[in-house]
Amino acid sequence: MKKHIIGLLLLVASSLLVIPSFNLFWSDRASTFDWTDPAALYNVDFGRRLLSDVLVPLGISVDPSNVIVGRNGWFFLGDAYARGVSEQRRIPDEADRERGMEISRTAREWQYALCQAGIKAYKIIVGPNKSEIYAEKAPSWMKAPSPSVADTFMGELGPQYVDVRQALADAAKQSHVPLYYPTDSHWNRLGAGVAFRTFAEQTARDLPDIRWPSPESYLASGRQARSAGDLAAFLNLQRDYSEWEELPSPPIRALRITQIDWRSGKPLLSGPNQPVPRWSTPILVRSPDALNQRRVLWLRDSFGTNMSPYMSQTFSDILQLHWSEGMKPEVLKELVDGFKPDYVFVTVVERDARNEAFSKPLILPGVNGHAKETDKPIAATLHSVHDVVVSDQNSGFAISGPDPSLVFDLPNGTAGSDKTHVKIDLNCQSQSQPVQLQMFWATNMAAGFNEARSIRLTYDPSKPLYPLHLLDSGLAGERLTKLRVDVDSPAVCSKFDLAPPVLVAVSPHSEVCN
């Protein structure tokens, strides 16, 4: 028994010597190793690397939740990221179409609200998952059905979205150089260039005065080796793999940029127009010699890194922040009010494009009361109330319960159009802060009220017009039958006067964001 104990102690002691020795002299990190750090001395990641050396050639990942082993040295993200693999493989359903419609509606709300703040363009660039563009490099079991979940979802998105999938798929077939890194989850400079060029072509229709990079800007001027990417790192195979990085073109290299901490004003970096990594705090990137002296708020993820040199070549002042932070209402207000951008752009990888941040309802501002009305206004009539007492000739009201709402009829099924606005005239008798309302509409094609056909608003008597046509793409082909107004802040406004809502067709040339 004593011999067994001594043997065990010797085995433990030898392990305590062997593991640090391996990390000091043979590990991938030997050149930068901190021998004073016990955690580094006894790190056993080398075991994963040794196991990966054996299993990866057989197509087996030691960390399948993070990395799927593909063909010919290609790796792909696993299900740990937004269940990307499972979502890609499953058959699309009606919920995917409805999700696309919901997010498209929210994008229209964002566009309208930002326009009211003086912003001239709002675009969202969706970066395709690597496994969609290079499906032939992935295991056959990862193949997406046709149509895929992405096809169904993206097919419902409106003109605010820039879909670069087809451009990248076509370019990948023609290029002898990959557009994504084989050992990384991101597109490389060439892939980012294809995406930016597609973005430029589509956005140029809305911004005809903007100068965009020349075709020469998208060419590579050479190549250099680079270390293996994030997927190889998951498997501890950084030393076993390397890949090529395409060098930027002369028009890109000639530009110099400065990175500044926007909140403090502190300069962080100045130098060549290199890719800017993603930041969790607002970073202002300035390029004085850019093609356009314009200010851009760019809410982006890591797919924006290799796009950033093209963005800096195009726009002189770019405030960059990760979209998960920048799309928070209080942060967005700070950035828009403080930076006063000309344009707002978003870059998000496809697997995150369905994130709840992209469908979160906005409290919309109204349009000023001086907009030019093109047709005779159509007034609604009170039909019924809930948790509300009518106190004065159908226009004076007092809240009597927790869920106050008023339903109004529209005469003869009023035709909707691409100019339809609703005009609200409300006077709160006990107002101490802004009144929050939610307005619903029903049509001959959809008789009931639902969240998809509603608008949340903060009532401002100086801006009483609200654009139904921008929020409901099918409105122009239907007839409006009813409106419902919910008071979302009954404690703020327990007694109020509300004239019957009025439908107004407003000229697109008046002071309205269309």
CB atoms within 10 A of CB 380: 22
Going by pLDDT thresholds of 50, 70 and 90, the confidence category of residue 510 is very low
- List the alpha helices (DSSP H) in 273-392: 308-314, 323-326, 329-339
Does the structure show a pLDDT above 80 at 267? yes
255 and 397 inside one domain? no
At residue 102, does pLDDT exceed 80? yes
Predicted pLDDT at 514: 55
Asked whether residue 6 falls in the same domain as residue 33, the answer is yes
- Is 340 in the same domain as 473? no
Same domain, 411 and 437: yes
pLDDT tens, residue by residue, 457-506: 888 888 888 877 666 666 777 888 999 999 988 888 889 999 999 888 77
Number of domains the chain contains: 3
Domain assignment of residue 478, yes or no: yes
Mark whether 144 and 77 lie in a shared domain.
Answer: no
Q: Which residues contact 252 (CB under 8 A, 6 or more apart)?
A: 217, 273, 309, 310, 313
Residue 432 lies in a domain: yes
Please say if the pLDDT value at position 445 is more than 90.
no
pLDDT in tens, 301-314: 999 999 999 999 99
Q: What is the pLDDT of residue 360?
A: 83
In a domain, 415, yes or no: yes
- Does some domain include residue 310? yes
Asked if the structure places residue 321 within a domain, the reply is yes
Asked if residue 246 belongs to a domain, the reply is: yes
Q: Which of 52, 85, 118 is the last residue of a domain?
A: 85
Using 50, 70 and 90 to split pLDDT, how confident is the model at 404? very high
Same domain (yes/no): 64, 100: no
The residue range of the domain holding 455 is: 378-510
In a domain, 372, yes or no: no
In this structure, is residue 179 part of a structural domain?
yes
Same domain, 491 and 402: yes
pLDDT higher than 70, residue 409: yes
DSSP 357: G
pLDDT tens-place string over residues 354-393: 999 998 877 666 665 555 555 578 889 999 999 999 986 7
Model confidence pLDDT, tens digit, residues 233-252? 999 998 889 899 999 999 99
> What's 442's domain CATH number?
2.60.120
- Asked if 318 and 389 sit in the same domain, the reply is no
Mean pLDDT score across all residues of the chain: 87
Look up tokens 């979209």; give the residue. 323
137 & 162 share domain:
yes
Q: Are residues 150 and 75 in the same domain?
A: no
Given 24, 59, 85, which residue is the final one in a domain?
85
| Whether residue 166 sits in one domain with residue 81 | no
Between helix 189-203 and helix 165-174 the angle, nearest 10°, is: 130
Q: Residue range 117-139: average pLDDT?
A: 96
Asked which of 85, 111, 132 is the last residue of a domain, the reply is 85
Query: Which of 67, 29, 63, 64 is closest to 46 using CA atoms?
Result: 29
Sign of CA dihedral 94, 96, 97, 98: positive
| Position 42 confidence tier, pLDDT thresholds 50, 70, 90 | very low
Instruction: Clarify whether residues 188 and 317 are in a common domain.
Output: yes
Q: What are phi and psi of 104, to 5 degrees?
A: -65, -40
490 near 450, Cβ under 8 Å?
no
